[in-house]
Amino acid sequence: MADAGSFGFLVGIIAALCTTLCNVPQVVKVYKTRETNDLSLKMLVLLNAGLALWITYGFIQGDWIICAANIVGITLTGYLLVAKLMMNGHGDNIRQITSRKTDII
């Protein structure tokens, strides 16, 4: 992990901001238009899986920049994934899964 005063640390912060904030315009567009037809479901699933792996890697390495950036990223792309599923006819399946009541014996 780069030292907090090093050039590598600064590069890491800037890279994290760029890759994390690039998702914001798409999230805003989906939120405003409620339209997700132009988003690829496979891409969103793969991207979220990759971000989850980066978070795991960050924890293993003890690198909070990697963890923080990817936690924000997975939150944004997770919203896009859920929106894609809910707005493209998969919502009924999700509602059934999330509304099931389990009996505790």
pLDDT of residue 88: 78
CA pair distance 7, 13, nearest whole angstrom: 10
Tell me the pTM.
0.75
Smallest CA-to-CA distance from 27 within 88, 61, 76 is with 76
Instruction: Tell me which fold the domain 7-92 belongs to.
Output: Monooxygenase (1.20.1280)
Q: Which long-range contacts (CB under 8 A, 24 or more apart) does 16-22 make?
A: 16/65, 16/66, 16/68, 16/69, 17/69, 19/69, 19/73, 20/69, 20/70, 20/72, 20/73, 20/76
Each residue of 8-58: pLDDT tens digit? 888 988 998 998 899 999 999 999 999 999 999 999 999 999 999 999 999
